[in-house]
Structure 1
Amino acid sequence: MALQKTLSLLLLSLLTLLGLGLVQPSYGETMHQRFLREHVDSNWTGGNNWYCNTMMQRRGMTRPRCKQLNTFIHADIGTIKNICRTPNIRCKNGRMNCHGRHVRVTECSLTASSQRKCSYQGRGRSRRVVIACQGNPPVPVRFDK
């Protein structure tokens, strides 16, 4: 009887850990936290190579590999969360939980990489971004385009 209880608790613990693993990506971040780290910088207008090289490293997108392309949104988190309240549109993956709006961004494109350094070209502009939102209330969880 004690062995059965122990095995049941072990199985329940394993299922709980698996469930958490499916919800939370690497580094113990939620999808929303990862979105904020990778795509939100309300304190800077960016737009150049120095900005991209600095931010990509600072935000952890150069290890273990250089991320090919990343977009930073230059708006406060309230403005970005409000994008989730705009009408739903189809995401690239076919789901209908995306939303769009024009904002100021910096697009960082990888130009060269070595074992020690990632080099990026930065381009600042205003454009329409599309983000996926989840939850109640909905929050941004993925940059779509």
Structure 2
Amino acid sequence: MRIQLACLLLLFATVVSQDANARYKKFIKQHINGRMSANQCDAVIGSRHITKTDSNECKETNTFIRATTKLVKPICGRAGEPYGQLTKSLLPFDIVVCTLKNQQARYPNCQYRGQARTRQIAIRCENGLPVHYERDIVSFEN
């Protein structure tokens, strides 16, 4: 009985880990671009086929973090702090926020307006990996 339970727990841990890895890869595709500029939203979102989940509808907003995964991944550890159910970066990041200009458009006709910002970011982490970009955070320092 103990062996069966151990095997079941190992199988569950493997499935959860694989699921988090798949979400991490999607996070990278949708939100990491170290060379992104505000005027590249249409091209990058189009080439990466970023749409609303399970549809061909254009996303209202998509944010790109201008950094490498080596800088973003540590937010889920020592470079982040709890922020409700999320994790907030300790340091600000350069980001590009792409906002849909043509409402109700469908891929591949999405047109975006990009805006560069520097903000702390809030993400969801699973198994030590970033899996969801939630929002940027304006912080006021004294």
Deviation at 1:118, TM superposition (A): 0.8
Q: Match for residue 82 of structure 1?
A: 74
Aligned 1:1-145 pairs, distance under 5 A: 24=19, 30-42=22-34, 44-48=35-39, 51-62=40-51, 64-84=56-76, 85-91=78-84, 95=85, 97-100=86-89, 101-113=91-103, 114-115=105-106, 117-135=109-127, 138-145=128-135
Q: Residue 99 of structure 1 contacts residue 133 of structure 1 at CA under 8 Å; is this kept in 2?
A: no
> Could you tell me whether the CA contact under 8 Å between 2:88 and 2:120 is conserved in 1?
no
Runs of 4+ in 1 over 3 A off after TM superposition: 113-116
TM, length-normalised to structure 2? 0.70
AA in 1 matched with 2:88: H
* CA offsets 1:12-68 (integer angstroms, 9 cap, x no match): xxxx9xxx69x749xxx71101100000012x14122xx000011111114611011
SS at match of 1:109: strand
Gaps of 5+ in 1: 1-15
Structure 2 unmatched runs, 5+? 1-10, 136-142
Q: Distance in 2 between matches of 1:33 and 1:87?
A: 20
Distance 1:108 1:31 in 2: 21
Give the secondary structure class of the aligned counterpart of 1:60.
coil
2:93 counterpart SS class: strand
Q: Is the 8 A contact 1:108 1:122 kept in 2?
A: yes
**TM-score scaled by length of structure 1:** 0.68
- Secondary structure (helix, strand or coil) at the match of 1:61 reads coil
Structure (1 or 2) with the larger CA radius of gyration: 1
CA contact (8 A) 1:105 1:124 kept: yes
Cα distance in structure 1, aligned partners of 2:36 and 2:24: 22
Report percent identity of matched pairs.
25
- Say if 2:124 and 2:131, in contact at 8 Å, map to a contact too: yes
Q: Do 2:41 and 2:112's aligned partners in 1 also have CA atoms closer than 8 Å?
A: yes
- CA distance in structure 2 between the partners assigned to 1:53 and 1:30 by the alignment: 25
CA contact (8 A) 1:47 1:125 kept: no
